[in-house]
Structure formats: structure tokens, C-alpha cells
Amino acid sequence: MPRFLVTYHGGGAVPHDPVVMERIRNAFMQWAQKTGSSLVDPGAPIMGRKTVTSGGVKDGTAEGAFDGWSVVEAADMDAVAEILKDHPFVGRGGSLQINEPAP
């Protein structure tokens, strides 16, 4: 079964408040448990950022912020979208991009 890279975009910075961070983590874990074996790798949020271009290296993001990732295994992109429809990151205002690997 194919695997899809899910990238997280625009959900805003995660506050450093431990109570809020724990609430966000718990919401994700509840969602992750119901995906069963489809969530191959839960991934991780991205904290530090550095960008390498032909012009050199700089601190910060590349074009189009990327805030985290997961790997989902499903029959096709529509099946991944169904799995992601109630993801808590979307509920916080973020977007999830489903990336299909090249053949």
C-alpha cells in the first residue's frame, strides 16, 4: 500500500505554555489512536529552521512555511484525506498537504 507524506502548514506557533502544549499533544494522540495502522510515522513538529539556497545559508523558513509532518499509508490520496478530515491541526486553523510520492 502506498505511503503519503502529510505536511503541516500555517497552524501558528505552538505556545510555550505547558498546559496548552499538553492539550495540543493530547488532541493529536487521540486522533492518532483512531487512525490505527494507517499512521505509519506520526512525525514531529518543526521547531528550528535554517534554509539552504544557491545564495547561501540563512536562519528561518523557506518559501511557504512548513510546520511539521506525518506519514500515512492508504490506498490513495482520497483515503488519506478521509483519515485527515478531523485532524486537530486543521481544527486549530492549519492546513494539511497530502504529498504523493513520484512513481
State in Å, rounded, how far the first CA of the chain is from the last one.
13
* Cell 492549519 sits on residue: 94
Q: What is the pLDDT of residues 54-73, one digit of tens each?
A: 788 888 766 767 888 999 99
Domain of residue 16, residue span: 3-99
When divided into structural domains, the chain yields a total of: 1
Looking at the predicted structure, is the pLDDT value of residue 82 above 80?
yes
> What's 95's domain CATH number?
3.30.70.1060
pTM comes to 0.77
Cα–Cα distance, 42 to 32 (Å, whole number): 8
